[in-house]
Chains A and B, each alone.
Chain A
Amino acid sequence: MKPAPFEYRAPESLDEALALVEELGEDARPLAGGQSLIPLLSFRLARPTCLVDLAGVPELQSIRIDDGRLVIGAMVREREAERDAKVEASAPLLACALPLIGHPAIRSRGTIGGSLAHSDPAAELPAAAVALEAELIARSRTRGERTIPAADFFTGFLSTALEPDELLTEIRIMRQSPGTGCAFEEVARRHGDFAMVGAAAMVRVEDDRITEARLVLTGVSDVPVRALDAEATLTAAPFTDEVLAEAAEQTAGSLSPASDIHGSSAYRRHVAGVLVRRAVRAATQRAGVAA
């Protein structure tokens, strides 16, 4: 398999990269880690006229704490984030999700921004970003910077709110507060494969009661799905097995995932309910509640 011909540009600053994506327009594609884009090129499912390789753009490479937030540059490799103590301490949900992405050789090349901007319906990072209520920062040469809440960023199958002249530059995440627990659970045919279904859970617990819950499913729709009804159920009453079962049932009942060769719609719904139970239980235990 050989990609169709394309030009290759390697900007060395963010300004240069933004000028290039503006000038080249929709026929060009930014190249981040390439772990999704290069197979698309090899299959000739994507035939851009030019790739703009962001690997040499220094502004996109760092992980830092800024004003109480964890800020991760779009070109930070998944493996690097997985090993970063700031990520582990400030955004444990991200630390739970990262090891589930692909395999080590994929994560050593794949980037945080690349996975988010690719918006694969079964990917882990979009679901984690929605659960974390992360802010995604987009920049264009002419309009400057804008902040897109994760909930508004993923607009459809492999589609995002990014304009053709914009680049995703970083993701900002509020540091997790004490008393919060999180978990990311998924079922895949093989460890490291795209999940058939995944569930991200974050709960804040006070006195054996869940006071705040965020529950997001991946692999069940074109975009990550936040289970708002189940979140309301979890916070409406003291946490018990019955409340958890109701939240799981509510989530499963609200979904209409597609069927494919890996599993039927009914199977995915069932798995979604199971994963909600597992993820919420693990999250509450990590927050310090044994239910």
Chain B
Amino acid sequence: MSMLEVALTVNGEARSGAVEPRKILADFIREDLGLTGTHLGCEQGVCGACTVLVNGQPARACLMLAVQARGAEVVTIEGLAEGGELNSLQRAMWESHGFQCGFCTPGFLMQITALLADNPQPSEPEIRAALSGNLCRCTGYESIVNGVLAAAGHPVPSAHEPQTQEPERSSVA
């Protein structure tokens, strides 16, 4: 099988590799580039965990071949932090407890990054519509939506704020 050269920009850095045509972009990112923050859930375009930005647009890295990303600018979850510090979205998600097991988190954050770039002040219904293609099997959607609201500078419903005054509960989610 012939190998093809793939040269692209990932998180601002020029990267390249030689791949079989059948190599899926997500596998290329994880295996060839060593960026394992992009998670593969369903590998069939349903769960959204592998969402990355390709030329600024959200795309499922399991629904692209690596060769289709030749010359593209790709941003993965590793590209969000600024100077080693969480960016404002990551911080808002952290403060809102916007993840539980964390498996879906990279895909959510990349999709939210695309949403906020398009629409810096999304309403809650707009947030829910934009995230409808990302699955969280811990079903922690409320805290994820609150994280986006916080990142967009909206007041977050108080009922969902961390309840530090309550007696300690079982940690079983």
Contacts and interface: CB of A to CB of B under 8 A. Distances in A.
B59 A108 contact: yes
Contacts, number: 90
B101 interface: no
A35 B43 CA distance: 12
Interface string B17-51: 00011101001000000000000000111001001
Interface in B31-81: 43-45, 48, 51, 54, 57-60, 62-65, 67-68
A105 B68 contact: no
Interface string A18-45: 0000000000000100110011011100
Interface stretch (B7-15, B127-135, B156-164): B127-135
A7 interface: yes
Interface residues of A, number: 31
Chain A interface mostly: loop
Nearest to A9: B21
A104 B58 contact: yes
Interface string A146-181: 000000000000000000000000000000000000
B111 interface: yes
Interface hub of A4, A8, A38, A42 (most chain B Cβ within 10 A):
A38
Contact of A102 (B54, B57, B114, B133): B133
B1 interface: yes
B86 interface: no
Contact of B63 (A4, A109, A191, A192): A109
A8 B43 contact: no
Contacts of B54: 108-109
Given A8-B4, A105-B58, A3 B68 contact: no
A35 B63 contact: yes
B68 A55 contact: yes
Contact of A8 (B44, B48, B63, B65): B65
B170 interface: no
A288 to B, nearest CB: 27
Interface hub of B1, B2, B59 (most chain A Cβ within 10 A):
B59
Interface hub of A6, A8, A41, A43 (most chain B Cβ within 10 A):
A8
A55 B20 CA distance: 19
Given A102-B133, A103-B48, A105-B133, A34 B43 contact: no
Closest 6 CB pairs between A and B?
Answer: A103-B133, A8-B21, A108-B57, A105-B58, A3-B22, A191-B132
Interface of A: 1-8, 10, 31, 34-35, 38-39, 41-43, 51, 53, 55, 79, 102-106, 108-109, 190-192
